[in-house]
Structure 1
Amino acid sequence: MDDFVTSQRFFLLLVTLVSGYLLYLLGPILSPFLVGALLAYLTDPVADRLELAGVSRTNSVVIVFVFLITLSILLVLLLVPKLSHQVQVMILQVPSVIALFEDKALPAIQAYLGDDVSFGDLQSFKDLAASHWQKTGDIMAQVAAYITRSGLAIVGWLANLLLIPVVTFYLLRDWDVMIEKIGYLLPRNLEPTVSRWAKESDEVLGAFMKGQLLVMLVLGCVYAVGLWLIGLDLALLLGMLAGLASIVPYMGFIVGIIAAGIAAYLQFHDPMILLWVAAVFGVGQALEGMVLTPLLVGDKIGLHPVAVIFAIMAGGQLFGFVGVLIALPVAAVIMVFLRHLHHGYKNSHLYGTGMVKEITEDESLNVQDTEVNEQR
């Protein structure tokens, strides 16, 4: 029996290492497949609900797929031109931000900390930044010319882009079947444990990706609309930036209110506008705490904010863009694994459960003897 367990563990470890190595080698071509798998994972519950309503699986997938395609086209047609324009406006305002820091913030910092505080030669930094911004158009033109000359690069890029909807459709159609077949491939003695761990991982990942990502999207829209109502030119860009930063609790609020406050002051030159910016982000923060998070995320177990940051940075460092895509699913699985490992360690002889129990019993006897003596 011990030989069987050892052989099984060695086999599973070998499969894991080989799979990880293949993932590393195939990283450059995995992006469309991982994006398709992510979209299929996020939209599978919708297709399942349509099935429960009496719609066939294929028709359910077609409905979800058409909705995704329509939404993607609308986002490209409506948002991309506006975001491109606002990025250009933001770049033009960067020298004004540096001047604002030099004229307003730096004297206040020096008055508080002393005149010895210095941030270097800001004029040299402004000149260097301005020279690079002037070259931005030339750089983009060179990149566009290179892409135009490289027909193979265009073909590869278009192939990856077209693969995403194809992969999404087929994965979504066969998602439940694939999960069932994977369950059948697992060793029978490990299948209950692995299934339980997979369910827990799905709960963690679902709480984050199906809940927190919706919170990020809604907050981005709320911030963008609010900033647009007060007349800010960069409303859409800053609202989406704050929504994306909301992947970590309170980071979206902090990043958004600082960036929007600076942009609003530079545009209106009126300190009172900062109160309206604060009101927009205050409403968004209250909406997140009282409505969005309880409704969309609930009390499910999510990933710790530090774990989210570390997972994304580590995935990008190790595997590039593919690593960013798989960072959170892998982090969810590792989190579940560590929780069970911690539980097993606390119940093992390595932790000394029996010794702790004996000490606790001795301490309780001493407490009882003390109480009896006091009563006497």
Structure 2
Amino acid sequence: MLAFLTEWYKTRFSDPQAITLMFIIIGIGLALYFGAGLLAPLLVALVLAFLLEWPVAQMSRLGISRTAAATIVLVVFLGLMLILLLGLVPSIWRQGVSLVTDLPTMIDKGMLIVREFSADYPQFVSASQLDSMMEEVNKMLDTQHLLDLGKQLLGYSASLLVLMVYAILVPLLVFFFLKDKDQLLSGSKRFFPANRDLARTVWFEMDQQIFNYIRGKVIEIVIVGVVSYIFFAVMGLRYSALLGVLTGLSVLIPYVGATLVTLPIALVAFFQWGFSAEFGYLMLGYGIIQALDGNVLVPLLFSDAVDLHPVVIIAAVLVFGGLWGVWGVFFAIPLASLVKAVINAWPNASSPKVALDNE
């Protein structure tokens, strides 16, 4: 056993570049795990700068200075975000307030249906189970629960102040990342070991894949959200803007997000129409949207960016989402692709050494 472990160690860790790659990955992983909260504005700015680098680079090739290109791209991007927020957020807020206001009525209607079902089929829902359900509902609607909800909303108000600070810091960081990209990259090299050619090989393999994935995911969110909102609005579904946004954001979690967002859509449609033709048409149309997203849009957008088995994708969402929350879910597929690239590039006894390049 000891001889086997010794041979395995020599095979996998005899290359100094492999050791360097391992330490770089571990160091970045530990920094993200323990410092993600403190570094949140920096990480957000890095992601945005990574996405906006392409138009800045294209403008630089046309002879425009990086400072001017970064300014133009950032102003256009912030303008589009401002238009989106001013046009979308008020509608979502109004529909969210309306949903909270109508929630007690919807719960009463739901409990009436459950009572009728219990009376007709007592073998499935007994009277004691119905009483337990009523107690839980009453706890949700009692005064203390509402007070706790108010405290949570106050906490969210404090979070809004933090978001306002981020709204100032993040654009400034994005501007400097875009304007001084070469200078910042050159200065950061001193913090990495000199023998990092294998790490560079992995990065060059991942660079375009990460960009394609993030760009494709943003496009998918917009398309699915807009199409879902239009369909819900045409059908006359209540809270169509809110549910459309939820449907668009559900694509962040592959395979699982669509399942989670189906429940509120089905419940709202049921409380609005009951088991009627409109309910059937809505669920059929929603199913068609999800099928077109999974079988047409996703292969079209991610054909070159994602080459992972669905089981690997779901496992990556669970692992990285548990580690880093929403950001872990968003970057689960790129991180899984990174793990795959490292495994493929990791040297062994029979693989050739990575050629050293002059920097």
TM range (shorter): 0.7 to 0.9
- State the alpha-carbon separation in 1 of the partners of residues 146 and 345 from structure 2: 56
How many residue pairs are counted as aligned between the two chains?
Answer: 337
Higher normalized contact order (CA 8 Å, seq sep 6+, divided by chain length): 2
CA 1:302 to 1:217, structure 2 compared with 1: closer, same or farther past 3 Å? farther
Is 1:128 matched with 2:161? no
- State the alpha-carbon separation in 2 of the partners of residues 178 and 212 from structure 1: 27
- State the alpha-carbon separation in 2 of the partners of residues 298 and 144 from structure 1: 39
Q: Is the 8 A contact 1:34 1:326 kept in 2?
A: no
Q: Is the 8 A contact 1:97 1:262 kept in 2?
A: no
Q: Is the 8 A contact 1:220 1:242 kept in 2?
A: yes
Q: Is the 8 A contact 2:209 2:334 kept in 1?
A: no
Q: What's the offset of the Cα at 1:199? A: 2.4
Query: Which residue, 230, 247, 269 being the options, matches 2:235?
Result: 230
Query: Which residue, 199, 202, 220 being the options, matches 2:204?
Result: 199
Q: What's the offset of the Cα at 1:248? A: 3.7
| Residue number in structure 2 paired with 1:171 | 177
| Residue number in structure 1 paired with 2:4 | none
CA 1:101 to 1:299, structure 2 compared with 1: closer, same or farther past 3 Å? farther
Is 1:259 matched with 2:264? yes
Q: What's the offset of the Cα at 1:159? A: 3.2
- State the alpha-carbon separation in 2 of the partners of residues 155 and 98 from structure 1: 34
AA matched with 2:133: L
CA 1:15 to 1:184, structure 2 compared with 1: closer, same or farther past 3 Å? closer
CA 1:249 to 1:331, structure 2 compared with 1: closer, same or farther past 3 Å? closer
- State the alpha-carbon separation in 2 of the partners of residues 301 and 134 from structure 1: 45
- State the alpha-carbon separation in 1 of the partners of residues 58 and 345 from structure 2: 32
Query: Greater shift after overlay, 281-290 or 323-332?
Result: 323-332
CA 1:278 to 1:325, structure 2 compared with 1: closer, same or farther past 3 Å? closer
Query: Greater shift after overlay, 75-84 or 216-225?
Result: 75-84
| Residue number in structure 2 paired with 1:374 | none
CA RMSD of aligned residues (A): 4.2
Structure 2 stretches lacking a partner, 5+ long: 1-9, 352-359
| Residue number in structure 2 paired with 1:66 | 75
Q: What's the offset of the Cα at 1:220? A: 0.9
Q: Secondary structure at the match of 2:236?
A: coil
| Residue number in structure 1 paired with 2:6 | none
When normalised by structure 2's length, the TM-score is 0.74
CA 1:112 to 1:135, structure 2 compared with 1: closer, same or farther past 3 Å? same
Q: Of the two, which has the highest radius of gyration?
A: 1
AA matched with 1:46: P
Q: 1:116-195 to 2 correspondence within 5 Å?
A: 118=129, 121-131=132-142, 134-135=146-147, 138-139=150-151, 143=155, 147=158, 158-175=164-181, 178=184, 190-191=196-197, 193-195=198-200
| Residue number in structure 2 paired with 1:364 | none
Q: What's the offset of the Cα at 1:309? A: 5.1
Q: What's the offset of the Cα at 1:111? A: 8.1
Query: Which residue, 337, 340, 343 being the options, matches 2:342?
Result: 337
Q: Secondary structure at the match of 1:201?
A: helix
Query: Which residue, 280, 298, 306 being the options, matches 2:303?
Result: 298
Q: What's the offset of the Cα at 1:131? A: 1.7
Q: What's the offset of the Cα at 1:38? A: 0.8
Percent of residue pairs identical: 24
Structure 1 stretches lacking a partner, 5+ long: 148-152, 349-376
CA 1:255 to 1:17, structure 2 compared with 1: closer, same or farther past 3 Å? closer
When normalised by structure 1's length, the TM-score is 0.71
Query: Which residue, 242, 264, 280 being the options, matches 1:275?
Result: 280
